[in-house]
Structure 1
Amino acid sequence: MARLPTTRIDRLLSSMGYGSRSEMARLARAGGITLDGADLTDVSARLPVTPDLPARLRIDGEPLDPLPGLVILLAKPLGMTCSHKEDGPLVHDLLPKRWRRRDPAISTVGRLDKQTSGLLLLTDDGALLHRIISPRQHIRKTYRARLARPLQGHEGPLFASGDLMLEGEEKPLAPAELLPLTPTEALLTITEGRYHQVRRMFAAAGNHVEALHRESLGGLTLPADMAPGTWRLLTEAEIARIFE
């Protein structure tokens, strides 16, 4: 039987952004850390890292934050960025402030630009992040695009051809699927993640994207009742749906 991994309590709490190890020691001495309802004063002790730990360990009376390995589903609103390279508030600002200090850090799984809304994942699991964004996985991403001008009918065959070249690139795009919804609205499903790809594809077809919203990633769809700016943790079953 495999042994469960263990960790020092102060090291775990520090890596989760609660404070330095010395600060955790002071908090414990003040009765601010409890395990199974009892004061835990020795934060140098090691604990098994089990899924039930957040329900058993309390910090200042509050349940422990989710353990490392979390995956967050966020309904990205317009006007927020995924990177300091863009001006504007970061999507990380929607999460608890303490989570900005976690190590390993919570990173976005790919990016949505400032003017794109919809499904965005964040995780501190580097291996999972790279698996999702790897071109070898061919994970489908579906966007709802509102266009400045009506579709002309040539866009679907063009996007599906596998021959479309974006300006400034030397490799054609992989085939993509276009589903018109109205004359000026369509769903576009791609399997790549090139810079501003959807916007540039419609530009290459002679149109302009006025609004863009990502609806799904793999088999995972953003729930219709998730308001912009809200988030929740994904279950293991939901994570698996990304790769369906």
Structure 2
Amino acid sequence: MRLDKFVMRSTRLTKQQVTTCIESGEVTVNQQAITDVRYQVHENNLIDYLGEQLIPRAFRYLMFNKPANTICSNVDGDYPSILNQINIEDKQELHIAGRLDADTTGLVLITDDGRWSFNIMRPEQNCEKTYRVTLSKPLANDVVERFEQGVLLSGEAKPTLPAKLKKISVEQAFAPDPSQNQQDGYKTQMPQQVLLTITEGRYHQVKRMFFSVGNRVNALHREQIGLLKLDIPLGHWRYLTQCEVNSFIN
């Protein structure tokens, strides 16, 4: 962790105050004054400020069930930030581990532990994310196999990593065709829901994957990350248990 971030986590100083005290030589690392705010410190370092040892606040780990028309950001934008619905101290220190689009709902992990969230987000960790996807029409017969092999998205040089796709339901209904004079109507394909599990987080990946096979995502909801399943109502949050936190630590 950077020295300035360590000092901020261990005191109530503002960012500017922390910068000033470090550059003035008031902070020591292993009894040596360090004036570079970017200096990297580690768990076993002894860090003092004006002769007093600094002990950082414990990291926090939260689950949040994101509603639609909110954004995974620390500040409001075109839509309000999800952090507006979380009422805890030092909220500005939190960040989102794996963002969702404004119109996507479901499981979001929030923390102030950068190393922990990095392990969740980088593809080589193979952390699975499962989405419930509502499609505009039923799947073609070959889509499950194509997703298992990886699909090439528009503008990408490499195909996606293998993904798991499970059909949930297919509904078909008959409806009259207003454009034709047919007494018995015609068959209309209704939306289908599927579960998609991926280990990457490319830009709009889920929507682009289905678009590449001639389908469209009407609704998207993240149900699970790793072994952690969403278990709270929409718009609510809770702290993770230590066991849940540890499930993301290799």
* Structures share fold, TM-score greater than 0.5: yes
What are the ranges of 5 or more consecutive residues in structure 1 without an aligned counterpart?
1-6, 22-43, 51-66
Seq. identity, %: 37
Give the drift of 1:14. 1.7
**Structure 1 residue 93 corresponds to structure 2 residue 99:** no
Q: What amino acid does structure 2 have at the position aligned with 1:146?
A: T
State whether residues 216 and 222 of structure 1, in contact with CA within 8 Å, keep that contact through their aligned partners in structure 2: yes
Question: Structure 1's 48 and 155: CA in aligned 2 closer, same or farther, altered over 3 A?
Answer: same
Other-structure match for 1:69? 59
Other-structure match for 2:137? 149
Aligned mate of 1:205, from 204, 210, 213? 213
What are the ranges of 5 or more consecutive residues in structure 2 without an aligned counterpart?
1-5, 19-49, 171-191
Superposition TM-score, scaled by structure 1 size: 0.70
1:134 and 1:15 mapped to 2: Cα distance? 32
Aligned mate of 1:80, from 61, 66, 70? 70
Give the drift of 1:240. 2.3
**Structure 1 residue 176 corresponds to structure 2 residue 175:** no
Q: Root-mean-square deviation (CA), in Å? A: 2.9
Give the drift of 1:99. 3.1
Give the drift of 1:236. 1.5
**Structure 1 residue 186 corresponds to structure 2 residue 186:** no
**Structure 1 residue 217 corresponds to structure 2 residue 225:** yes
1:116 and 1:11 mapped to 2: Cα distance? 32
Aligned mate of 1:238, from 235, 244, 247? 244
Q: Which has the larger radius of gyration?
A: 2
Give the drift of 1:178. 0.3
1:14 and 1:229 mapped to 2: Cα distance? 30
Give SS of 1:157's match: helix
2:79 and 2:239 mapped to 1: Cα distance? 25
Q: What amino acid does structure 1 have at the position aligned with 2:12?
A: S
Question: Structure 1's 97 and 234: CA in aligned 2 closer, same or farther, altered over 3 A?
Answer: closer
Q: What amino acid does structure 2 have at the position aligned with 1:168?
A: G
Please give the residue correspondences for 1:31-70 in structure 2 after superposition, counting only pairs within 5 Å: 67-70=57-60
CA displacement, residues 196-216 of structure 1 (integer Å, 9 cap, x when unaligned): 111111111111110100000
Give SS of 1:14's match: coil
State whether residues 131 and 221 of structure 2, in contact with CA within 8 Å, keep that contact through their aligned partners in structure 1: yes
May I ask how many residue pairs the two structures share in their alignment? 191
1:137 and 1:241 mapped to 2: Cα distance? 12
Give SS of 2:200's match: coil
State whether residues 165 and 195 of structure 2, in contact with CA within 8 Å, keep that contact through their aligned partners in structure 1: yes
Question: Structure 1's 243 and 116: CA in aligned 2 closer, same or farther, altered over 3 A?
Answer: farther
Q: What amino acid does structure 2 have at the position aligned with 1:192?
A: E
**Structure 1 residue 167 corresponds to structure 2 residue 154:** yes
Give the drift of 1:135. 1.6
State whether residues 77 and 117 of structure 1, in contact with CA within 8 Å, keep that contact through their aligned partners in structure 2: yes
Aligned mate of 2:101, from 91, 113, 120? 113
Other-structure match for 1:56? none
1:73 and 1:15 mapped to 2: Cα distance? 28
2:166 and 2:9 mapped to 1: Cα distance? 50
Give SS of 2:209's match: helix
